[in-house]
Amino acid sequence: MCFTYLIYGMMVVALTPGHQIAAIVSSFVVSFWNSFSGFLISWPLIQVWWRWYYWASPVAWTINGAIASQVADKTSPLEIPGRDPMPVNEFLKENFGFDHDFRVPVVFALLGWVFLFFFVFAYGIKFLNFVFANGKSIEVMDMLKI
């Protein structure tokens, strides 16, 4: 799962003129991924018009896969104050939307993110060139005011 984020970092560096700009772009993208990943606000509580971003976040797919594969198959009773005891798997499905049977789509989604990031990275490396004819990059030319 962490391979997704490694390839994402490589992709952003390939699409920007330098690693400093890639870090700035990544900070914005990763903060949005984390905000809508379902970790701070669970999927059922996210506003309807923002739920598309939940499904477009690799962090959400990672959290879904980790929780669904580790604890979503447990049927032991969970005692919740003010409510009747219920199995862990039902609690996760009702309150967070995590289902143990949803593991296969999670794997394909995470592999899809890896392949998407890899192909965009390869495109950026092949076709984007941030070096001018005199051999100086954009950052060097900005510093020299050329």
Q: What is the rounded CA–CA span in Å between residue 125 and residue 138?
A: 16
Q: Which residue type does 111 have?
A: L
Separation between Cα atoms, residue 25 and residue 111, nearest integer Å: 23
For residue 29, the enclosing domain spans 2-144
Question: Going residue by residue through the chain (146 aa), what tens digit of pLDDT does each one get?
Answer: 577 888 999 999 999 988 889 999 999 999 988 888 888 888 888 888 888 888 889 999 998 899 888 988 888 988 888 888 899 989 888 888 888 888 899 999 999 999 999 999 999 888 887 766 565 655 544 555 55
Count of domains in the chain? 1
Q: Which of 67, 84, 66, 86 is nearest to 76 (CA)?
A: 86
